[in-house]
Amino acid sequence: MNSTFIHQYDRQKPCSTISWRERRGPPPAKRSYTSAPNATMSRFTGISLIRRWLMIAPSVGRFDGSPCNSLTVSSIELITKNASMRKGQTRRQNFAYGWLMLFTCINFAHPQQQHSVPSIFIYDDFERCEATASVYCYARTILRVDQFPAGFIVPQTEFLIPNELFPTMPADKRRYETLVNVCVNQRLRTRYNITGYTALEYCRPKPKQTARPYDALEVIFLAVSGTLVSTLILTTLLDFCRANQENAIVSAFSVRRNWMRLRADADSPLHRDLLYIDGLRVLVNHLVIVLHSFLIASVAPAQNYSELEDLANNVPMRIYLSSNAYLVQIFFTIGGYLLSVNFLRDADRGPIDARYASNKILNRLVRLVPVYAFFLLFSVSLNVRFDVNVNGFRLFTAENAICRQNWWTNVLFVNNFLWPKELCLMHTWYLAADLQLFLMAMGVLVLVHRRPKSVGVVFLVGVLVSFAVPGYITHQHKLHPVLPGKLSEAKFLTMYEPWIRRIYLPSYANTGCYLYGVIAGYLYHRTKNYKMQLERFWLYRLINAYVTPVLVAVTVSSFLWYVIDVPKPNLWVSLYSALYRNIIGIFVAVCFLRSIDKSPGTLRSILSSKLLTTLGKLTYSAYVLHDVVMRFLLLRENFNSVINVQKFIAWVYI
């Protein structure tokens, strides 16, 4: 919504808000879904299975006074403010108004009726509210569905950030929610002839003249940060002065030593043979960051949100979004491959016992925990102080509240299951799933090492289970077979999407890709050390011949699940889901096997280049850090900013 529309309100009147609750109605009669040239918008966006008679999509409506034959209805968040009360004066509450962030919308084209609806992003003047020492609130309004044409359908996204995360919300709801609801409905009736129900999400405390004191967690974070910086400077100076060079702390923290390690060449034949995997890590990690940047752009309060919907609406973008589920699975396959190769090499050199297994697990935790713990500590402490504008609540305050409540799931590496509903540092679910799959694969490798004759049965059972689990989950919960990357879920970074929570995140639904890496590592070891000829096995020849065309077919056909109405549960949907969740792991594992005893081609040479192999040592830190960096980038985006290609490139690369 443009600023002109915002200032048309009478700021002396109390305000009201809307969040629109849409529910499913009967399918309308067949009609032509077209848009007039001067229509506000007629978008078809959504990454979910769309019934022939329904269009579920995060859509955008703009209020410019022009007639439209397209109805866009959405969940809207409202910002309200309450003027402070002076002692001795009559008790009163003045709410400014503003509507914030629509996060689920519906596009219902009706060629014979004209409708106008509020814009997606509508903010009150944050600085003005702060200057008057008023209360600034966020809310969402759910519209009554019976005031719209028959067949009006609502997406299954009606989530609020839970009020219980914020200790002040019970009192704020008693003070403000009823009044906000009345005010919003008054404004809705006046301008749009519609009504709804408003629910508060959060009210910011009144600005204080004195700064809020630092709590214990913030002090701990500052102390840890100061200690790390001081240690880094001191050890670097000692190293340059050639003092205490053999000291373990100097070796670990010196900038010069770490730079040397970063640029060091591979020191073993096995590492040199698999050097291209470091470059592959960089490439996949880069694609993950591009995807997450697209999600962040979808959350930004942009005035050209419809352009994002147009982009997400075309077939190539749907295929791209659905294929992004492959990225993390490639990481899983790489992890299984490297674990298997190193385990079998160590098995030839020495005994595999409990001490060996515990050392492997300990070494892994030593690599993971320090960086992870540092940013987790930031998320439960100091990040809330960066809530300095309208965007700050979603980016930092909500994250801080979630992390303070559910930090233990991150510490225990179990933040990839169905509970709790709210996830702290959601992108770190991968670390939990990867550690769980690592432990599972260690058990499989120990079993295979102790009982070599059972290797075929163990791998076969593992493959069958890996296909059965995602198929069963899809069938049992009536889910889509492919990643439904809906813009309506971007506000919560897909935290509540059932497909994400039930199939994408849990380790037991990702066993296949890790297992295929383990099998590829086992075959690599047999080929390198026992001269096994893979081409002599008909099963390998069959998989090698058909895995690429099957992967292409599954990927290209994924967009069909957004437009074809398939009743669920359905056997074919479950089978497709099982193939979709396993095919990329099989393909990557076969690619690893194809590279054995073959001279590097152009792609492997590029992936093995000095630049990529050096950056490959930083991929883990970059993965953990990139979410925090993107939050700071989005914090700078003002209301009604424009998201374009240049800005998107700057987010990713600058």
Q: Do 276 and 149 fall within a single domain?
A: no
Of the three residues 185, 205, 225, the one that is the final residue of a domain is 205
H or E stretch covering 281: helix 276-299
Residue 128: which pLDDT band, with cuts at 50, 70 and 90? Answer: confident
pLDDT at 262 over 70: yes
Please give the pLDDT value at position 179: 84
Closest by CA position to 282, among listed 602, 617, 601: 617
Q: Do 194 and 281 fall within a single domain?
A: no
Give the C-alpha separation, 441 to 402, whole Å: 31
Q: What is the mean pLDDT of the chain?
A: 77
pLDDT at 36 over 60: no
Instruction: Give domain status of residue 26, yes or no.
Output: no
Please give the pLDDT value at position 147: 76
Q: What is the mean pLDDT of residues 606-625?
A: 92
Residue 2: which pLDDT band, with cuts at 50, 70 and 90? Answer: very low
Instruction: Give domain status of residue 614, yes or no.
Output: yes
Q: What is the mean pLDDT of residues 519-523?
A: 96
The alpha helices in 532-618, defined as continuous H runs, are 538-557, 571-580, 583-594, 602-607, 610-616
pLDDT at 45 over 60: no
Of the three residues 182, 205, 228, the one that is the final residue of a domain is 205
Give the C-alpha separation, 198 to 179, whole Å: 10
Of the three residues 155, 185, 205, the one that is the final residue of a domain is 205
Give the C-alpha separation, 553 to 330, whole Å: 18
Q: Do 180 and 317 fall within a single domain?
A: no
Q: Which of 239-243, 474-478, 618-622 has the lowest mean pLDDT?
A: 239-243
Closest by CA position to 118, among listed 24, 196, 23: 196
Q: Which of 21-30, 276-285, 563-572 has the lowest mean pLDDT?
A: 21-30
Please give the pLDDT value at position 117: 63
Residue 153: which pLDDT band, with cuts at 50, 70 and 90? Answer: low
Q: What is the mean pLDDT of residues 515-532?
A: 93
Give the C-alpha separation, 541 to 535, whole Å: 6
Please give the pLDDT value at position 631: 86
Please give the pLDDT value at position 242: 79
Tokens for 433, please give them. 């799933």
Q: Do 377 and 506 fall within a single domain?
A: yes
- What global pTM score does this model have? 0.80
Tokens for 163, please give them. 């009020």
Q: Do 179 and 276 fall within a single domain?
A: no
Tokens for 236, please give them. 């670097």
Give the C-alpha separation, 423 to 440, whole Å: 24
Q: Which of 92-106, 305-319, 451-465, 529-543 has the lowest mean pLDDT?
A: 92-106
Q: What confidence tens digit (pLDDT) does each residue in 384-423 have?
A: 999 888 888 888 998 999 999 999 999 999 999 988 888 9
Give the C-alpha separation, 479 to 577, whole Å: 9
CB 180 within 8 A of CB 95: yes
Instruction: Give domain status of residue 60, yes or no.
Output: no
Residue 85: which pLDDT band, with cuts at 50, 70 and 90? Answer: very low
Give the C-alpha separation, 334 to 331, whole Å: 5
Q: Do 374 and 518 fall within a single domain?
A: yes
Instruction: Give domain status of residue 22, yes or no.
Output: no
Based on the structure, what is the number of domains in the chain? 2
Closest by CA position to 407, among listed 421, 419, 392, 425: 425
Q: Do 159 and 284 fall within a single domain?
A: no
Residue 33: which pLDDT band, with cuts at 50, 70 and 90? Answer: very low
Closest by CA position to 43, among listed 314, 255, 252, 240: 314
Instruction: Give domain status of residue 592, yes or no.
Output: yes
Q: What DSSP line would sit under 211-255, residue for residue?
A: PPPP-HHHHHHHHHHHHHHHHHHHHHHHHHTT-STT-HHHHHH-H
Q: What is the mean pLDDT of residues 42-70?
A: 27
Residue 546: which pLDDT band, with cuts at 50, 70 and 90? Answer: very high
Please give the pLDDT value at position 409: 95
Instruction: Give domain status of residue 190, yes or no.
Output: yes
Residue 596 vs residues 160, 437, 524, 591: alpha-carbon distances, Å: 51, 25, 7, 9
Q: Do 476 and 566 fall within a single domain?
A: yes
∠ CA 588-591-592, rounded to 5°: 90
Q: What is the mean pLDDT of residues 511-524?
A: 96
Higher pLDDT, 487 or 178: 178
Give the C-alpha separation, 92 to 90, whole Å: 6
Q: Do 506 and 584 fall within a single domain?
A: yes
Half-sphere exposure of 261 (CA within 13 A, CB side): 10
pLDDT at 113 over 70: no
Q: Percentage of the chain surpassing pLDDT 90?
A: 43
Spell out the residues 6+ positions from residue 499 whose beta carbon is closer than 8 angstroms to its own.
Answer: 479, 480, 483, 484
**Of 125-139, 140-154, 345-359, which one has max mean pLDDT?**
345-359
Please give the pLDDT value at position 180: 82
Give the distance from CA 306 to its chain's centroid: 21
Instruction: Give domain status of residue 553, yes or no.
Output: yes
CB 459 within 8 A of CB 439: no
Please give the pLDDT value at position 357: 92
Q: Do 277 and 173 fall within a single domain?
A: no
The domain of 503 spans 265-292+300-653
Strand pairing report for 135-143 and 196-204: antiparallel
Please give the pLDDT value at position 654: 64
Q: What is the largest CA-CA distance in the chain?
A: 93
Q: Do 467 and 359 fall within a single domain?
A: yes
Residues recorded for the chain: 654
Instruction: Give domain status of residue 621, yes or no.
Output: yes
Q: Do 337 and 193 fall within a single domain?
A: no
Q: What is the mean pLDDT of residues 182-203?
A: 83
